[in-house]
A and B are shown apart, each in its own frame.
Chain A
């Protein structure tokens, strides 16, 4: 409705008003996450119970032998699986709300303990990969857009197509091979990245020498997507009238690109970066396998295979929460980058 837009445009918000509107916007966004999370909880709870077979049967009959019904019933009672579905769901939701996530049904250790190190590891890989991607994507995408249809652009486009086409795990294997071969050639002894995770504040060098490789392997693909997005968004913005205005003002080309064009072009890039980041937290199954990392992706697959309801449900809810939160951060970035969003909410 054109009238509405114009009316809002004419509306003069004063400076102090911005913070209250901003705060209201943030609260609104956070409240909107609740239905998303609840929907996901219902879905994963039902899905887990539609998979044939249950954890007790799997645990007891793993060897292939026959199972005594009493033992099976005992096991189910212990895990609370004999209760009505609704009660089980209630317990699940209550746990989520009170932050009492329970124990893994498979290992019987508290989920929080199981997760702690793996979460750190996955988070660190995701952050490092994101940083790698941003550091590559924005300069490279900008360069390609500014030098459109020159050899620079062609190089960047080839480089990024390769990044998208090549699976991260395969690049991971290549990296490991390269490390082995070069270390052997240079030092005479083959060197392998460490395989036991140590938090970065305990031994930064050891930690980084382990995680830098998977971060690079995933970061390359990630950067390729973001580079192409930066390039195409910037090409579009460079055709905008206000870029022509900036040039007509006699600004240095560098200023035209950095201040006038890039900031407008970053909106779609932020979206891509956000989605990819959320995906890395729990989606790196094969790459974790290749680098022998004990991360969330691996745990995810194992707990699904084991029918570990509690663990799987928790992991899904965590990933959903991460996605919702990342989207929230992306929206805040939007508002920060674009005053039109900031002022009209």
Chain B
């Protein structure tokens, strides 16, 4: 139990400990049994966690997977005993290292936190204290738990920062969180978590807020540290790809209960619960294209204030039978693999895997004249005032982008945050004015269009935003929100708007009576559908979808993607689909453009781009994005790209990607590579491929 400072240092630099398979044989470090947690709210009791149990062995990475509200974070916070005061633990034990954490006094628990069990949170941007130096924040647990002197603590902090891959650690100690990027901050959080050599590290959605290449860096680091230092890790996530790539064991949670539990191979290869199976077929995959329609789970997770009787999944389950009104127990279906479904034995027979039969029909009408939207050298620079006596600087957000979209076509635009993809979307809509270049919409240049012309064009172009929570006015009813564009553009007389709203609602899969609801009364998925209905209300031809499905849970995301695809076929819409999730872009797009630091680095038909990526950045992005299939993941070569996106204020000379590029040569630092057509319609901005 007693870990001294020396011990901590020694095991860090010491040799690689036993492999995780050997460790699994030993005693579990954490055993949770029959844990139930409830919250008192003004509406009643919410049972957030019910009869949850799992074990974690040293050196093992255990994933808790589930959608928002499934209780996965609450169960983890319960281990730390960091629940809000309204929470109440009604039953269960949490055995950690021979002690029941739930029976410890507050002071005893404080000594466990950050010392033997530590935690990393979702939002690296807000999880570090903005007014304290990084150094102090890392050293605090060392002072408190290990009683180190300032010199010892500083040495250890430098060691930890080196361990988590932060360069120049000594000067970092003097910096404040806002001076570090998101990825760096999450590394600092990991350093804090590891500071006292814990036995267990709990990571709550540790990479959800990060870009895919940074996500891969962080997870590789965690996996590596867990093996080297024999630390058990519980990773809470909604991303099935991460689970497949990194987790040893998986617990799937649904509506406060564990519905399936087993090794990653067991759960992904041979799921025995309809929810787990549904999730796996609902998530878009990098290795599957447009041809495969997503098999989604209908409906939404239940409200835990009034959960359904018996099996919680029953109302959404295609295989529900009478027996399902009794809660199924979590029983072993094979060694180490448990599922809570009465019909788990028959599922293999009745739930055939989806065949690629749903061949999506291209809505593109052949022989249509020209593209609906053409961008020619579109450029957007933002001046940043450098203060009273400093020259203005330019953020090169979008730098000479040339693209085109045909009617009925989806152009996917991918890139990491800060690459300029959203700015490009705004410029196309003329929400921002371009600095230079041409935006041809149905042949007319919008770049210099006046406000009257734009008003006419805006009827034909619409936008769907990322955040369904903040992009709808909370004081307007759904009907008013959807009807507003129609009255602004005077498309329909007032008395006809009501009927049209009902029509639009049913088009996006909502009920007509929802027109009288307010946004806060709807779920996230429903709100996004309202956003789509609003965009459709003016009969647009072209819609910019700016991260339109990024904030949604997997099963809801699948529904919305299918809806967008269905609408495209029905109405012949064109989409500019901006997203950071490669699998989603792969699934929905006909053509894909990859953006890096304001420039398009690769531009090709979707299948061609994903099958045959040429640009080293595209290759890196694809390598970093995990595929939700452990069998594929275990054999995939991992080339994790290093470094981070440089500041758009000072882009590197030559090819903007050269500092991170594995194949960069001297010339890449001098010359800006032009887009070259390497195959039919396959454009690459790289001189070395």
Contact = CB atoms under 8 A, between A and B. Distances in A.
Contact of A3 (B118, B181, B648): B648
A94 interface: no
A15 interface: yes
A9 B181 contact: yes
Interface string B103-140: 00000001111110011010100111111100000001
Interface string A91-135: 000000000000000000000000000000000000000000000
A7 to B, nearest CB: 4
A178 B112 CA distance: 55
Interface string A1-40: 1111011011111010000000010001000000000000
Given A242-B128, A248-B118, A7 B649 contact: yes
A255 B128 CA distance: 15
Given A9-B178, A260-B132, A245 B113 contact: no
B184 to A, nearest CB: 9
Contacts of B179: 9-13, 343
A11 B647 contact: yes
B178 A247 contact: no
Contacts of B176: 339-340, 343
A250 B193 CA distance: 11
B140 A249 contact: yes
A201 interface: no
Interface string B368-399: 00000000000000101001110000010100
A252 interface: yes
A252 B395 contact: no
A3 B126 contact: no
Interface residues of B, number: 45
B387 A250 contact: no
Interface in A235-264: 240-242, 244-253, 255, 259-260, 263-264
Contacts of A246: 129, 140
A6 B126 contact: no
Interface string B640-655: 0000000111000000
B407 to A, nearest CB: 32
Contacts of B111: 250
Contacts of B418: 2-3, 6
Given A28-B388, A250-B111, A251-B144, A245 B130 contact: no
B155 interface: no
Interface in A209-254: 240-242, 244-253
Nearest to B106: A253
A252 B384 contact: no
Nearest to A342: B176
A264 B647 contact: no
B395 A7 contact: yes
A247 B395 contact: no
A251 B114 CA distance: 8
A245 B388 CA distance: 38
Contact of B112 (A242, A250, A263): A250
A345 interface: yes
B205 to A, nearest CB: 12
Contacts of B131: 263-264, 337-339
B674 interface: no
Contacts of A241: 121, 123, 126-127
Contacts of A28: 387-388
A251 to B, nearest CB: 6
A343 B649 CA distance: 17
Contacts of B110: 250-253
Most chain B CB within a 10 A radius of its CB, from A9, A248, A255: A248
A247 B82 contact: yes
- The A interface, classified by DSSP as helix, strand, loop or mixed, is helix
Interface string B404-426: 00000000000000101001000
Most chain A CB within a 10 A radius of its CB, from B114, B123, B126, B179: B179
Contacts of B388: 24, 28
A4 B387 CA distance: 13
A249 B127 contact: no
Contacts of A244: 82, 121, 127
A242 B176 CA distance: 13
Contacts of A345: 387
B522 interface: no
B214 to A, nearest CB: 13
A250 B178 contact: no
B434 interface: no
B192 interface: yes
Contacts of B129: 242, 245-246, 260, 264
A31 to B, nearest CB: 8
Given A11-B647, A250-B141, A339-B176, 19 more contacts: A3-B395, A3-B418, A3-B420, A7-B395, A9-B179, A9-B180, A10-B181, A10-B647, A13-B179, A241-B123, A241-B126, A241-B127, A246-B140, A248-B119, A249-B113, A251-B140, A264-B130, A338-B131, A343-B176
Interface of A: 1-4, 6-7, 9-13, 15, 24, 28, 240-242, 244-253, 255, 259-260, 263-264, 337-340, 343-345
28 contacts: A2-B418, A3-B382, A4-B382, A4-B395, A6-B418, A9-B180, A10-B647, A11-B179, A28-B387, A242-B129, A244-B82, A244-B121, A245-B128, A245-B129, A248-B118, A248-B119, A249-B114, A250-B113, A250-B144, A253-B110, A255-B144, A259-B132, A260-B132, A263-B132, A338-B131, A340-B130, A343-B178, A344-B178
Closest 3 CB pairs of A and B: A250-B114, A250-B113, A249-B114
Interface of B: 80, 82, 110-115, 118-119, 121, 123, 126-132, 140-141, 144-145, 174-176, 178-181, 189, 192, 382, 384, 387-389, 395, 397, 418, 420, 423, 647-649
